[in-house]
Amino acid sequence: MRPYGVLTRSYGLRGTAPAPRRGPQSYRAQFWRPTVTGWQQSPATALLLLADGTRLEGQGIGAVGHAAGEVCFNTAMTGYQEILTDPSYAGQIVTFTFPHIGNVGANDEDIETVNMAALSGVRGCVLRADITNPSNYRAAQKLDAWLKARNIIGITGIDTRALTARIRESGMPNGVIAHSPDGYFDEPSIKAELNAFPGLEGLDLAQEVTTAQTYHWDQAGWKWGEGYATVANPEFHIVAIDYGAKRNILRCLADQGAKVTVVPATASAKDVLAHNPDGIFLSNGPGDPAATGKYAVPTIKALMDAGKPMFGICLGHQLLGLALGGTTSKMHQGHHGANHPVKDLTTGKVEITSMNHGFAVDAQSLPSGVTQTHVSLFDGSNAGLSVDGKPIFSVQYHPEASPGPRDSHYLFTRFLNQVRTQKGMPLKPETPPIVSADASAE
Ligand SMILES: NC(=O)CC[C@H](N)C(=O)O
């Protein structure tokens, strides 16, 4: 059995094992697929095998081979490319609850992975319907070919409603996704892969997806007909610690007039402060915050003492919570979608947010001097915190969206306003969230 702890793979990038050879232990599955003339039996070319022995069969798309991960579901109706390239999905297999994925094809712009050499972190995707020909002016490629080029395995023809209901009832299972175009599967090696996957708890995956080199980022938001802008004369300098950062976060910082220096996850407080930043950003990222916290927490603690404004998103939020003395724990079904209501406890307002996390900060573990600022209205879990009297705050959700609503973009203004305060500059107005929690009561 090969060790999985650091996601080392003997078979190259993104967990695609060589295609199985036909042999006495290989298995050829049949699967019923809907066609215009009724149901037809055809050879299954892909499998999704869950840890409890559940076996789902369908049609393979994308890369050939097999890969293990934790199976979650994402309820976003758009943005499949951004989801499949979000490094926070390392070690996971994403089930899309929206049945038609691939309709708008794939392009080179809607990519969230900064580190192109690492491709994306996701181990596979599970879809309901077959991929149709793309219908969108931005489409440069069919999703199937794009998945193959990025070494992501996919399966179509799965009853994703049933799979989602099951994840809601029994939690996110470990699983293996396998794609074999000739329909023969090397069962022993697929099962061995499943058994070797230890689950996400205890896994530090940030080091798998972080940048190897420090780099500078100046790309800003996308404009219709113009593409991505560039910050011409940055007013501020932010250092972002990259635990698996999404590009759109860096663009949102650039939109605020910041030049961003991105440093590896293992950078020390001294490395960060050597860049003389006006503010420090802690990025999103994959894996268990407690595992990444072993090296990230001492750095964050030292940085908090430096007195610079600090903002964290998702994994960055969880790591800040740990650095402040709180704890994190694994969630039952996690939050992955683009329509999650969050209440800002400081204003009473509700924002509709983009979410992607399987761990959460335990609100009751936050010490005095730390305020819980936001909660999820789906399950009451912690969604934000701030440090009393200091320019330090973080949120569990994704204000950069990509995909998702932009209600929470104001948080980037809030962060840069803290920088402006320190520099004695006039503040910018925060764009308020759209929906008020009190509106329904009026
Ligand atoms: N998007 C993220 O940063 C995810 C954080 C963490 N890996 C979790 O699953 O909770």
* Helix, strand and coil percent figures for the chain, each rounded to 5: 25, 35, 40
**What is the whole-number distance in angstroms between the Cα of residue 313 and the centre of ligand 1?**
9
23: closest CA among 223, 251, 189, 235?
A: 189
157 annotated among ligand-binding-site residues? no
195-247 residue pLDDT tens: 999 999 999 999 999 999 999 999 999 988 899 999 989 999 999 999 999 99
291-302 residue pLDDT tens: 999 999 999 999
The pLDDT, as a whole number, for residue 436 is 47
Rounded alpha-carbon distances, angstroms, from residue 167 to 15, 150, 164, 369: 23, 27, 5, 37
Give the whole-number percent of the chain exceeding pLDDT 70. Answer: 87
DSSP 8-class letter at 164: H
91 annotated among ligand-binding-site residues? no
Confidence of residue 16 (pLDDT cuts 50, 70, 90): very low
The pLDDT, as a whole number, for residue 440 is 43
The pLDDT, as a whole number, for residue 32 is 64
pLDDT at 12 > cutoff 50 = no
Whether the CB-CB separation of 288 and 247 falls below 8 Å is answered with no
406-422 residue pLDDT tens: 899 999 999 999 999 99
Confidence of residue 10 (pLDDT cuts 50, 70, 90): very low
The pLDDT, as a whole number, for residue 232 is 86
pLDDT at 251 > cutoff 80 = yes
304-314 residue pLDDT tens: 999 999 999 99
- How far is it, in rounded angstroms, from Cα 40 to Cα 17? 30
271-286 average pLDDT score: 98
106: closest CA among 85, 127, 88, 122?
A: 85
- Average pLDDT of the chain? 90
Helix axes 315-323, 289-305, angle to 10 degrees: 60
Residue 155 β-bridge partners: 60, 126
The pLDDT, as a whole number, for residue 441 is 39
99-155 residue pLDDT tens: 999 999 999 999 999 865 555 589 999 999 999 999 999 999 999 999 999 999 999
48: closest CA among 81, 94, 13?
A: 94
Confidence of residue 29 (pLDDT cuts 50, 70, 90): low
Residues with CB under 6 A from ligand 1: 88, 284-287, 314-315, 356-359
| 209-241: b (≥16 Cβ within 10 Å) or e | bbbeebeebebbeeeeeeeeeebeebebbbbbb
Confidence of residue 35 (pLDDT cuts 50, 70, 90): low
Structure tokens at 441: 């009561």
Rg (CA), the chain: 22
The pLDDT, as a whole number, for residue 13 is 33
351 is a catalytic site residue: no
**What is the whole-number distance in angstroms between the Cα of residue 87 and the centre of ligand 1?**
9
Q: Which of 3.30.479.10, 3.50.30.20, 1.20.140.10, 2.60.120.10 is the CATH number of 13-196?
A: 3.50.30.20
Write down the architecture of domain 206-437 according to CATH.
3-Layer(aba) Sandwich (3.40)
Let me know if 271 is exposed, middle or buried by CB neighbors in 10 A (0-12, 13-18, 19+): middle
Confidence of residue 50 (pLDDT cuts 50, 70, 90): very high
- For a mutational test of ligand 1's pocket, the pick from 122, 292, 318, i.e. the residue with the most ligand atoms closer than 8 A to its C-beta, is 318
Structure tokens at 428: 């910018």
Which residue bears the tokens 């990222």?
Answer: 285
316-324 average pLDDT score: 98
Confidence of residue 320 (pLDDT cuts 50, 70, 90): very high
pTM for the model stands at: 0.90
User: From atom 8 of ligand 1, which residue's Cα is the shortest distance away?
Assistant: 357
Calculate the dihedral angle through the C-alpha atoms of 225, 226, 228, 229, rounding to the nearest 10 degrees. Answer: -150
**What is the whole-number distance in angstroms between the Cα of residue 315 and the centre of ligand 1?**
5
Choose between 277 and 224: higher pLDDT: 277
- How far is it, in rounded angstroms, from Cα 106 to Cα 96? 16
- Residue 328 alpha carbon, nearest atom of ligand 1: 10
Stated length of the chain: 442
pLDDT at 2 > cutoff 80 = no
Sorted by where each begins, the domain ranges of the chain are: 13-196, 206-437
